Every structure is written in C-alpha cells, then in structure tokens.
Chain A
Amino acid sequence: MRFDTTVLSPAELDLRAAVREFLAAELPEDRIPALGMAAEHDPAFSRKLAAAGWVGMAIPPEYGGRGRSAVDRFIVTEELLSAGAPIGAHFVADRQTAPTLLSFGTEEQRKYFLPRISAGECWFSLGMSEPDAGSDLASVRTSAKRVDGGWSINGTKVWTSGAHLNHYFAVLCRTSPANGDRHAGLSQLIVDLGSPGVKVSPIPYLNGTHSFNEVLLDDVFVPDDMVLGEVGSGWAQVTSELAYERSGPDRFLSTFNLLRYFIAEHGAEYVDDAAARVVGTLSAHFWTIRQLSLAVARALDEGRAPAVEAALVKDLGTRFEQRVIELMRTVAETEVGPGEGSIFQRLLAEAILTGPTFTLRGGTTEVLRSIAARGLTR
C-alpha cells in the first residue's frame, strides 16, 4: 500500500484557477448547492462545461476528448463538487461509462459515444443492481437471448439513478448459463432507454424526489453493435470499472457544503468552543482525505494500479461524509425540514435524508472492506 504526498504543478494550479473562475461566473451566488454527485440535471451547464474542455477529460482527442491526466480530472471534479455544481447530467457517463468504452468498446462505439459524452450531450445510467442482486452482483437474472442481428433482453433493474433523464444505460446481464462458474456468461449491453419494451418507473426516494427508478426490460432488442466489450466478459469488465473510479472527490465531498454554509451563516461571534472544535476537526479530515484521494489519482497517472488504496479512500471518505452530518447536527442545534429555512438548514435536512446512500452506492462499506482486507492480508 502506498500513498505519496503530491505537489500540484504550476499547470495544474492554473487549471484549478481557471475552473474556479468559470464557476464563479456561471453559478449564481444565492443558489442552493448540490450535495456532491446527487446534483441537478442541467444540460446547459454540462454543455458549457464541456465547451470549456472539462468533460471527457480522460478521453483521448481522437475520440473528441481532452486526453488529460487523472490529476487534472481530479482537480476539475473537486472544484465542481466543492461548489455544489449541477453536474447531474453528464457525471456518470464521464466518470464511469467513458473509461469502460475506452477499455472495452469497439472502435465504432468509441467513435459514436465518446465525442458525444465529451460534449456533455450523451448521458448514461448504470444498470447493475436488481431486486435479487445487490452486493452479489454476479447473481443478476436479467438475461439476453440471441436473435437475428442482436440480442433480446428481459429482466428488471432497480435503483437505476437518472434512467428517466438519461439516454442509455449499460446493462449487466446473463448471455449464457452459469454452468458452475457464476462469473462466466455475463455481458454488458448498451441499452437505449428510449427503445420499445423499456419501461422506466420512479422509485420514490427517501427525500421525496424522483432520483432512481425501476427499469423493466421486456424483449428489448439490442443490436450486435451495442454489445459492450466481449460477450461473456461482463464480470471482468464491471469489476475493473469499479476498482479505480472508487476514490475520487465524489467520495468525500458530498457534505462539504454543510460545513461551508455553517460557517457562512454562523459568523465568528456565534461560534463557541464546541462548534469551533467541530469545524476544526472536520477541516482537518477534509484536508487529509483529499490528499489521500489525490494521491490515488497521481498513482494512476504514474501507471500504478492502486485498487486497495482506492477502496480504503472510499471507505474513509464516505464514512466521513456521514460523520460531517452528525457533527454539524450537534453544533447547529436546529430543527430542520426539507426545503425549509436557510441554505445550511436545507442542506442539513437533505443530508440527513440522503446520507445513508454514501456508504451504499458504488459498493457498500462492508464489501469495500473485504476487498481492502484481501489486499492487506495477502
């Protein structure tokens, strides 16, 4: 295991300054910031960000991207998240789908999807979870049968975030029977969410919003050219996809704006010793975890494969995001209701209602810990 301290280069600092300037100009002062990646879908914002060169940063120029480093991407992402920017439309496609397409997609798929993702115009959801397949993802039951020119897919996906807004989702499904090896016979198919036979219904989210969905797939036709990667290699693909995308700024900044607005709304004269201690403690953690997360990005750029490090950072970061909520609560001493009161109070209400998600999405704490433990005790 290895975490090195990192100095940002002058070029990296320039990039950061440019993003800060862009955000200061684009985001109205009085808006309610988002809590991390669960941000508003704002196609206009995504397009502007893309025009500035900050979507598709990991995608090579030949596919319409910017060919930037993981650290550059880290810098842009942390600025967006700390500002609570409305990144909901493009974030998943940019973070998760694009790298998968790059690693496993066909040349035609890359040529088709990557420029659109880079432009902030093509949005993806993730079709992994099912009613009976959560952490144990290999037990998915959604299955695809060979038909003329492609596949016919049937099954039910759940918790599909943004399926009601996005264009596509990458569906993990069974394309041949397990026959003893449950990791064999799984494939990823790209399904157009507008295809006949796709039925998207909202699953009411705890905060009362429409965020995730149930997606029924009823004999949905998927042409051969929409198979992502090799037929039968779905398992290897999804696991590699998860490994390194785990520890980015979206895993520790979700509740950053709670702290920011606590300070903004409780001027120095109202902050007593107990509150100061909380602010100090949280600042110390943000500062430290950010550097651990940045170290993973730097390691990726140096060609290392920091899978255990990434799992550790995600576990630390997401549990910290939850601790921020509890500590803010103890010092704010306020009653909150959704959409009521000051920005801080609204953020606190939202954070309490959605906080449990942080340690569930993208691999639960428990599952991450077993990945990390395997790496540590090897």
Chain B
Amino acid sequence: MSDDRSFVAEAATSILQDHSTPETVRRVEHRGWNEELWSVLAESGFTTISVPETAGGSGGDIADACVVIKAVGQFAAAVPVVETALLAGWALAAAGLELPIGPATTGVGQSADTTELRKTAQGWRLSGRLHRVPWAHQAERLVLIVPVDGVDHVVSVRAPELEILPGRNLAGETRDTVVFDDVPAEAVAPAPPGVSVEALRLRGALGRAVATAGALARVADLTVQYTAAREQFGRPLARFQAVQRHIVRIAERTQAAGMAADTAALNADPDPDFFDVAAAKIIAGESGSTAAAAAHQAHGAIGMTKEYELGQLTRRLWTWRDEFGSESYWSRLLGQQVVMDGASELWPRLSTGRVPHGSTRSQA
C-alpha cells in the first residue's frame, strides 16, 4: 500500500472505530443511517474521496476510496460513501456539474425503474419511479443517467423535494422507492463517454464487493475470538475439529474476497475493469454466504441476537450480495464475455491479476 493510502486507511479506521462501535450501529439502526459518523467522515474529506479536487471532491483514486469503503464494511457503518463518492460524485464531476454538500445517491438501474427527462419552457423536468435507491431518504441530491433522444444525460435532482417511499435492506440501511412527477431537474449535462448506467452499476458492484471484504475480515476475527473464549465440554470451542472447520472456511473465504476486491480496486485506474469487478462481486457474494453460515454455526444462539455484533455484519453480507447485481447476474455477464472472447483468451485473462499502475489491462 502506498504511504498515502495507508494514511487514509489508518485515519478512516480510527474514525470508524470511535463512531461506529457495535453499540452505535445498534442504536442508529432504526434511523437507517449513522448521521454523526457521516459528518465526521465528511469533515475529513472521506465522503468525496476519489472525486477530483478540481470538481470539489477531496481527490485520490478509486483504490483510496476503497480502503475507506473496506473500513465502512468492517465496522458495519451505515453511511453512503460508495454512493456519494464512487457513484454520484463521480458522475457529477465527469459531467462538469456541481457537487452537493452532503450525501448523494444514484438510481441503480433496477429493471422496474422508469425515468423520463423532458425539456420544457421552464427547463428540464423529470418523471418516473426508481426502486431500492440506496439512502434516498438521507441524500441531498439524486443523480441519474437518463437518455434524451438516445443520448445519455447526467441529471441532478434535489432529493428532499421528491416523494420517497421508505424501504430498508436486510441490515436496516435505507433503500427507498423514489417517485417523481414532473419535478424540475436542478442540473443536466450530456454524459461524457464512459459515464453510463452500466458504469454506475460496475462501480456500485465494486463498492459492495470491497465493503463485503471488510465485513468478512471482522466476521473472521470475531469468530476466532468467540470460539477461543467460549468453553463447552471443558474446553474452548476452537479445540473441536468440527468447529475448526468453520474457522478455516471463514478464513479462506475472507482471504479470497479480500484478494479479489483489492485487485479490482487497485486495477481500477482510472476506471474499474469489467472482468475484475464481475469476478470480485461473484467471489464476495459467495464468500459472504459461506462465511455467514459458518460464523453463525460456530457462534450458536448468541449470534442470533440483535445485541451481538455478528448479526450486524452477517446481515450486511447477506444484503450486499444482491445489491448492484447478484452472483447470478455477474456470473452470467462474465461467462458470456469469456465465451465470446474464446478458449484461447481464457488463460491469458485468468492469469492477469494485479496490473502495474497505469499499464494497459492485458498482460498477455
């Protein structure tokens, strides 16, 4: 890790350690997010990390943002860093639009979403309905990519003025339905090349994969600690071979998800790569399922209580699997791509792991 990046990691971790303790996570869950943590992260510039300073962000690259996101996952923090920095902030900056002060979010491209952007005498007007928008309730701006006459436009709307039907994910984080009926768009600009709904989804998937890797690391630690401390039949649970199996399985999945997510993040320079992110999201999702099951099994009933930390993490593992495309979604796309590229390209691509900074993608 570069020195700058280790500094970011340390600083973000120390903030999260103070402001996203298991008690805090439990206390703020009914509100759907951790507002106080958000202000502290924002003061330190972590909420617009990777958005260029010239555009009003705090600079850095995607890999820098990902170390913050990993820590967010590790501490089960309910804050829209992925949405504000990696998604909305990126799209606004790319289109030359102003960044809001405060959280921002985007539509994530659900199949049932509808949006229509029209130019009228009074300016741009937007109608439609978006589903499971992360943190719409908390966002200052909702950023959308909407086609007008076949050309994608980046649209910024003041979120507090929209009709929001509240929803939650399995971890209690807000995932709302947003309804607009001929509302004014605050700013509209043509989307530059590469700024598309697919690109948002890829970035969102990277964000969830990275956060999952963070949460898994904590699940692994927690399970090792708990099974060492808890005794049954006169010895620590960790001494039983069957329990060790769970511990090892969690460790394997944690390391696999970490490796895949880190590689995808480090290679995302300047933009995430499709293969990397698809692979990372698949591995993160599967790892989340396997590790959550093993961790609950190893913990017994205590893990099933709302008091205990494990559930804050496993509920995120479960819910993040499906956000921005499930394993099933990404494996289908990835498989189609791999098949299209053909058998002779398979090994060269699989053997291209982390690539040097600024190099072309394929090492083959």
Chain A residues within CB distance 8 Å of chain B: 1, 3, 5-8, 13, 16, 78, 82-83, 256, 259-261, 263-264, 266-268, 271, 273, 275-281, 283-292, 294-295, 309, 312, 315-316, 366, 369-370, 372-373, 376-377
Contacts and interface: CB of A to CB of B under 8 A. Distances in A.
Nearest to B341: A263
Closest 5 CB pairs of A and B: A276-B335, A280-B335, A280-B334, A373-B244, A280-B331
Nearest to A308: B251
Interface stretch (B20-28, B121-129, B194-202, B348-356): B348-356
Most buried by A among B260, B328, B339, B342: B339
B213 to A, nearest CB: 11
Interface string B319-332: 00000000110111
Contacts of B336: 268, 271, 276, 280
Given A6-B354, A312-B251, A315-B252, A271 B339 contact: yes
A377 B244 contact: yes
B112 interface: no
Interface residues of B, number: 51
23 contacts: A5-B259, A5-B262, A7-B354, A8-B363, A83-B347, A256-B347, A279-B331, A281-B282, A281-B335, A283-B346, A283-B350, A284-B330, A287-B275, A287-B353, A288-B259, A292-B255, A294-B353, A315-B248, A315-B252, A369-B241, A370-B241, A376-B251, A377-B227
Given A16-B351, A283-B338, A372-B248, 20 more contacts: A5-B353, A78-B351, A261-B343, A263-B339, A263-B342, A276-B333, A279-B331, A280-B331, A281-B286, A283-B346, A283-B350, A284-B334, A286-B350, A312-B251, A315-B248, A366-B241, A376-B224, A376-B247, A376-B248, A377-B224
Contact of B263 (A291, A312, A369): A291
B256 interface: yes
B266 interface: yes
A7 to B, nearest CB: 5
Contacts of A283: 275, 279, 334-335, 338, 346, 349-350
A316 B252 contact: yes
A88 B287 CA distance: 35
A16 B279 CA distance: 23
B245 interface: yes
Contacts of B330: 280, 284
Interface in B269-293: 275, 278-280, 282-283, 286
Contacts of B328: 277
A295 B224 CA distance: 23
Contacts of A309: 255
B247 A273 contact: no
A277 B354 contact: no
Contacts of B353: 5-6, 8, 287, 290-291, 294
Interface string B214-256: 0000000000100110000000001001001101100110011
B301 interface: no
A284 B279 contact: yes
Contacts of B349: 283, 287
Given A256-B347, A260-B347, A377 B335 contact: no
A83 to B, nearest CB: 8
A268 B339 contact: yes
Contacts of A5: 259, 262-263, 266, 353-354
